């Protein structure tokens, strides 16, 4: 039975707005596809080789947690995570995790927390929060499809010249409420502000993560089958219709 190794990074610190639900969704959907799944929680101070994992999930948090994580990235985990992303590790980084995988996050009090610079992006705290449901159109899957989620962030993230956005905002604020872009994609790593949790609302994204992980682990020899997503697709479509009405 093909096996997927999932890393749940800082689960006790970065789990705001139900981001732990992304781990649950990956595990359950992988099992429906007939895959064996192993989940490892990794937290502050843990030294690991991230290349051993197939999927890394990191959620959102607030400034206090981000200060701790920025220090842990700098002292303990940064180089290993860099190497793993270059090696093709599949990553889904939400909100605070997304910000700290960029160049830096500047807090409301002016402190600049260094990021990993995996994403060509940087974040600065703004005076107001951007809150609400979001619809994003993305070409991540080869043809335009929508992603739905919920955002709640004061950080404004700006993409550098080498960064590719995850998609175009149809409803909501996205990265900064100005340029109409949401998230970022680099190799097999995705950063986004979409909570909700994201993956139960977007099974096609969950399968994208799983297939990329399988391709890296098994060299294209293991392909996902098709699941009956009728209920999930109806729920997704209903949300899109309601938000774009």
Q: Could you list the active site residues? A: 95, 195
Return the structure tokens found at 189. 């790593």
CB atoms within 10 A of CB 138: 23
CB atoms within 10 A of CB 120: 16
Return the structure tokens found at 207. 């399968």
CA atoms within 13 A on the CB side of 13: 19
**Cβ contacts of residue 28 below 8 Å, gap of 6+?**
none
Q: What angle do CA 106, 46, 183 make, to 5 degrees?
A: 40
CB atoms within 10 A of CB 106: 16
Report the Cα 59 to chain-centroid distance in Å: 7
Pairing of strands 90-94, 167-171: unpaired
């Amino acid at each position: 039975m093909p096996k997927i190794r999932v890393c749940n990074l800082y689960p006790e610190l970065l789990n705001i707005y139900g981001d732990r639900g992304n781990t649950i969704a990956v595990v359950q959907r992988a099992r429906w596809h007939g895959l064996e799944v192993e989940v490892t929680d990794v937290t502050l101070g843990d030294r690991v080789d991230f290349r051993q994992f197939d999927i890394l999930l990191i959620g959102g948090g607030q400034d206090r947690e981000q200060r701790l994580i920025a220090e842990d990235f700098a002292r303990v985990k940064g180089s290993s995570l860099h190497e793993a992303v270059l090696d093709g590790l599949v990553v889904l980084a939400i909100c605070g995790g997304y910000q700290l995988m960029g160049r830096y996050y500047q807090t409301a009090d002016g402190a600049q927390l260094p990021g990993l610079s995996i994403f060509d992006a940087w974040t600065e705290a703004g005076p107001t929060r951007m809150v609400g449901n979001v619809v994003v159109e993305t070409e991540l899957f080869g043809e335009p499809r929508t992603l739905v989620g919920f955002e709640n962030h004061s950080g404004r993230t700006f993409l550098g010249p080498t960064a590719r956005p995850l998609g175009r905002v149809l409803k909501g604020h996205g990265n900064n409420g100005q340029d109409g872009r949401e998230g970022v994609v680099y190799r097999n790593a995705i950063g986004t502000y979409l909570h909700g949790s994201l993956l139960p609302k977007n099974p096609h994204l969950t399968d994208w993560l799983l297939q990329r992980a399988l391709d890296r682990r098994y060299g294209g020899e293991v392909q996902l089958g098709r699941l009956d997503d009728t209920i999930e697709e109806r729920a997704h479509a209903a949300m899109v219709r309601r938000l774009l009405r």
